[in-house]
Amino acid sequence: MFLPQEFIRKKRDRQPLDRDEIAAFVRGVVDGSVTEGQVSAFAMAVYFNDLSVDECVAITLAQRDSGQVLDWSAQQLNGPVVDKHSTGGVGDLTSLLLGPMIAACGAYVPMISGRGLGHTGGTLDKLNSIPGYNVTPGTDEFQRVVRDVGVAIIGQTEQLAPADKRVYAIRDITATVESVAMITASILSKKLAAGLGGLVMDVKVGSGAFMPTPEKSLELARSIVDVGNGAGMKTTALLTDMNQSLAPCAGNALEVACAIDYLTGKSRPDRLHEVTMALAAQMLVSSGIAADDTQARVRLQAVLDSGAAVERFAKMVAALGGPVDLIDAPARYLTKAQIRIPVVAPVAGRVERIDCRALGMAVVGLGGGRVRAEDSIDYAVGLSELVPLGQRVDVGQPLGFVHAGSAGKAAHAAAMVQHAYTLSETGQATPPTIYRIVQ
């Protein structure tokens, strides 16, 4: 007979857990025979004593199997099923670019994304700024769009990894969110439930990253790669910089407009392009579509230049209920804020440091993110034309622009952005955009 308290005691006392008892515990989480107090006690024991790779693989697979696991065999796809996941950041709209680009190269991308969390923007919130776009289609419709278009970006359904949903809600209120092992199991159980053959993970480093230090970011990347591969899914990770906004804008409709500009070739900001191409190339290589990084980049550039990638984006939007002419007339559909004001540099100098988290919180303060889960979002607000690290500015020159719904909120956000920028005469070396690949 399985006793949850004995299971918790073993982890508390640093004794190894076997696969069967881990599976029994996760089943109890779903059917309610394991109480909220027992889940929180286990999470705290893991926080202090960690999980071995084998234990983390076992809990990941058990959480995957706690609900529906998508099977793509009946769809008769003629390419690999792959995805990318990010730990989140500011101005990080790579999902909107990668999915269509990878689909145009011959893979299939069933991307199950999340809403904004804390200072980080959420891919679902960006897509919700497109009128009519359905982020919660049924499973049959989701699989049909992936089969027909090659990519669909939606939200997590109630059927996928329900054990993780309950465990995460309890971790969120018991100060155990930061456990690397539990973060790993949470991310990978949902990705495995989507039926993926391969995953590329984007782990952020810096002032706007979810993980507090570069060492913790590397620890998470290694954990995800080890456990993902241990669970039978080809997994690699990139450590990328989040010491400044990835795109020069942050905010939902603003980022969708930036994504359309990127895919059409109207504007491809350097750092956004570098990270997008690195992640996409890794997806093509790890899924076997390209032999190496060089070949992958040639193929990716070709689908951008030919318009094949933006065509996939347009088809995905239309297939999920959005406007059929979004690419041709984005200004007709993407809402604009009533107020747009510059954030002026108080002194002259070179941008030495940016508190990227503060930029994200400025967007939240404008109404572009949530303070509470039930908060509604103003999709029009945000920041644009943000000056990057290393650039010189004169007194009174804009550091960026605030898009707001009221003068009061605009002034408050402008003060936050101004405070987030540190200017000096000399400046400092700009950090690399991509730190390393973990395989």
Domains of the chain: 73-158+185-319 (3.40.1030.10), 335-424 (3.90.1170.30)
Residue reference for tokens 């984007």: 202
Burial class (CB in 10 A: 0-12, 13-18, 19+), 36: middle
Whether residue 104 contacts residue 305, with contact meaning beta carbons closer than 8 Å, is answered with no
The count of other CB atoms within 10 Å of the CB of residue 401 is 21
Distance CA 359, CA 94 (A): 18
As given in the structure block, the two tokens for residue 156 are: 């997590």
Distance CA 202, CA 274 (A): 13
For residues 277 and 300, the answer to whether their CB atoms sit within 8 Å is yes
CB 242 within 8 A of CB 211: no
Dist. CA 296–CA 288, nearest whole Å: 10
Q: Which residues contact 95 (CB under 8 A, 6 or more apart)?
A: 84, 86, 111, 113, 123, 153
Determine how many CB atoms are found less than 10 A away from the CB of residue 428: 13
User: Order of strands across the sheet with 234-241?
Assistant: 82-86, 198-205, 234-241, 434-438
Closest CA to 259 of 85, 433, 87, 95: 95
- Secondary structure letter of residue 388 according to DSSP: P
Residue 60 CA to residue 46 CA, distance in Å, equals: 14
138 contacts 159 by C-beta, under 8 angstroms? no
Token digits of residue 105: 């190269």
Secondary structure class of 129 (helix, strand, coil) = coil
- pLDDT score, position 212: 81
CA distances from 362 to 119, 268, 272, 377 (A): 8, 24, 21, 14
- In the chain, what is the greatest distance between 2 CA atoms, to the nearest angstrom? 72
pLDDT in tens, the chain (439 residues): 899 999 999 999 999 999 999 999 999 999 999 999 999 999 999 999 999 999 999 999 999 999 999 999 999 999 999 999 998 889 999 999 999 999 999 999 999 887 655 666 688 999 999 999 999 999 999 999 999 999 999 987 888 899 998 998 898 788 888 899 999 999 999 999 999 999 999 999 999 988 889 999 999 999 999 999 999 999 999 999 999 999 999 999 999 999 999 999 999 999 999 999 999 999 999 999 999 999 999 999 999 999 999 999 999 999 999 999 999 999 999 999 999 999 999 999 999 999 999 999 999 999 998 766 667 899 999 999 999 999 999 999 999 999 999 999 999 999 999 999 999 988 778 999 999 999 9
Buried b (16+ CB within 10 A) or exposed e, 127-143: bbbbeebbbebeeebbb
What are the residue numbers of the active site? 83-86, 123, 171, 186, 190-191
Rounded distance between C-alpha atoms, residue 298 and residue 289, angstroms: 12
What is the radius of gyration, based on Cα positions, of the chain?
22
